[in-house]
Amino acid sequence: WNHGKLAHDAAAILKVWPGLTRTLYLSSAGDDIIGDSMATLVKALRTTAPKGLTWYYEPHPELKHSNIYRSASPAVFRKLFAAHAPD
C-alpha cells in the first residue's frame, strides 16, 4: 500500500469528489498486514465519504489472503447485486 499513502490521503481525496455516487466494498483477512492502513481508510470513509458513496468494510479474520476472495465473494455479490423485484 505504498506505506499507507492511499489510506492517509483518503480524506483529502474524498473531499475532491463531493458528488461521487458509487459503491465500494472493502475486506481484510486475518493474515493481512494492512490492519493499520485499513483502520485509517475506514476512519476517513466514516468521516468524509460523500453522501452518494455507499461503502462497506467487512473484516474476515477467519480467512486468509489466499482464500478470502473465493470464500467471501459469493455473499458479497449477493449483497451488492441483489435481485430486485419488478415494479
Q: What is the grid cell recorded at 44?
A: 476517513
Yes or no: say if 41 and 10 are a contact pair by the CB < 8 Å rule: yes
- Does the pLDDT value for residue 46 go beyond 90? yes
Alpha carbon distance 85, 87 (integer Å)? 6
The pTM of this model reads 0.82
Yes or no: say if 38 and 7 are a contact pair by the CB < 8 Å rule: yes
Query: What's the CA dihedral at 40, 67, 72, 27 to 10 degrees?
Result: 0
pLDDT at 5: 92
Q: Which range is least confidently modeled, 19-23, 36-40, 77-81, 82-86? A: 82-86
24-53 mean pLDDT: 93
Higher-scoring residue by pLDDT: 34, 52? 52
